[in-house]
Amino acid sequence: MEETSYLPPQPVSGAGAGAGAVPGAGAGGPEYGPATLGGNSRVTDAQRARAEGRSPVIEPGVQPAVLTAVLGALLAGGAVLGTYALLVPLVLLQGLTAAGWFRLNGMWPARQGIALGFLGAVAADVALLASDRSPAAILGTLGVWVLLSLVLQLRSHADPDERMYGLMATVAAAALAITAGGFLAADADAVTVGALAVAVAMVARALPLPTAVSVVVAPAAAAGAGFAVGGMEAAGAGVGAGAAVCALIGHRVASYDYPSRFVHFTAGVALPLAAAGPAVYVLSRLAT
């Protein structure tokens, strides 16, 4: 597996220098680049924000939330149309998940790692179809891909610390992409409820409300959507609320420490749905 590299420090110059410098620094004072994970000993934006009492977290915002809602609606519509119609948005979700996770961890380029995670997800999908959508196919594929990631990473010539970090990122990306196949393992009705609940939750979370309020409103709205879509039954509300809670966790992860616009439009779109995939399957089984 090829070495994964981190974003290099970016010097700040010209008109942007004023925004990047420490307040009160003179013309010859230090200038700071964006946050990095490898080798930048200078103060990062996240460190400066903490020192100034500001939050180092930027949430994906309205546009990624709308894209998540669109992808959730496609999953719900695909579940209604049939298994193979569901595969199209699911494969898109799994690809975005693998790419977004690597970029969220500051690792770029990481083409082989992204390809490995995505191929693991495709292999899990094929195994699910071949086994009549048995969840054991997900667990089996996950075990094989963890072993494969370990073997490939041991062949890397990177430094031990970077090699370990790359291994963890690869395993996590593959695990998230593979377990998103929970949508394929679950019943069509549960997929419809869960995907639409995540869509509603992300739109509600993006509303211009205080964070504490939107975190409460989002799962409540998702539970209501699950109740309505699930035939006015409590089970639908439970699946919707559970999927929304997992989606909020994925949303929060994608907001970590000044993520880039690319992160917002990959991990920020995909992680809420990917995190909800296993929950949709488990909750639907518990409800039956």
* HEC sequence for the chain: CCCCCECCCCCCCHHHHHHHCCCCCCCCCCCCCCCCCCCCCCCCHHHHHHHCCCCCCCCCCHHHHHHHHHHHHHHHHHHHHCHHHHHHHHHHHHHHHHHHHHHHCCECCCHHHHHHHHHHHHHHHHHHHHCCCCCHHHHHHHHHHHHHHHHHHHCCCCCHHHHHHHHHHHHHHHHHHHHCCHHHHCCHHHHHHHHHHHHHHHHHHCCCCCHHHHHHHHHHHHHHHHHHHCCCCHHHHHHHHHHHHHHHHHHHHCCCCCCCHHHHCCHHHHHHHHHHHHHHHHHHHHHC
Decide if pLDDT at 246 tops 70.
Answer: yes
Which residues make Cβ contacts (< 8 Å) with residue 120, sequence separation at least 6? Answer: 141, 142, 145, 148, 174, 177, 178
Between 118 and 45, name the one with better pLDDT. Answer: 118
* Lowest-confidence region among 5-19, 52-66, 143-157, 221-235: 5-19
pLDDT value of residue 104: 87
6, two tokens: 């981190």
Q: How confident is the model at residue 285 (pLDDT cuts 50, 70, 90)?
A: confident
pLDDT value of residue 43: 58
- Name the residue with tokens 């013309």: 27
Angle made by CA atoms 179, 103, 33, in degrees to the nearest 5: 155
pLDDT value of residue 288: 66
pLDDT value of residue 17: 41
Which residues make Cβ contacts (< 8 Å) with residue 125, sequence separation at least 6? Answer: 87, 90, 91, 94, 181, 184
Decide if pLDDT at 7 tops 50.
Answer: no
* Lowest-confidence region among 105-114, 166-175, 223-232: 105-114
Q: How confident is the model at residue 268 (pLDDT cuts 50, 70, 90)?
A: very high
Decide if pLDDT at 217 tops 60.
Answer: yes
Please compute the mean of the pLDDT values over residues 37-65 and round it to a whole number: 71
Above pLDDT 70, what percent of the chain?
Answer: 82
Helix axis angle, 62-81 to 267-287, nearest 10°:
40
Using an 8 Å Cβ cutoff, are 185 and 135 in contact? yes
What Rg do the C-alpha atoms of the chain give, in angstroms?
Answer: 20
Start-to-end C-alpha separation, the chain: 43
108, two tokens: 């770029």
Give this prediction's pTM.
Answer: 0.79
pLDDT value of residue 149: 87
What is the distance between the alpha carbons of residues 267 and 271, in angstroms, rounded to a whole number? 5
What pLDDT, in 10s, does the model give residues 146-205? 999 888 877 777 777 778 888 888 999 999 999 999 999 999 999 999 999 999 999 999
pLDDT value of residue 64: 95
* Lowest-confidence region among 40-54, 99-113, 230-244: 40-54
Between 272 and 34, name the one with better pLDDT. Answer: 272
CA atoms within 13 A on the CB side of 102: 27
Q: What are phi and psi of 106, to 5 degrees?
A: 75, 20
227, two tokens: 């109740």
What is the distance between the alpha carbons of residues 277 and 186, in angstroms, rounded to a whole number? 9
Decide if pLDDT at 119 tops 50.
Answer: yes
Please compute the mean of the pLDDT values over residues 222-236 and round it to a whole number: 86
φ/ψ region of 106 (left if φ > 0, alpha if ψ in -120 to 50, else beta) reads left
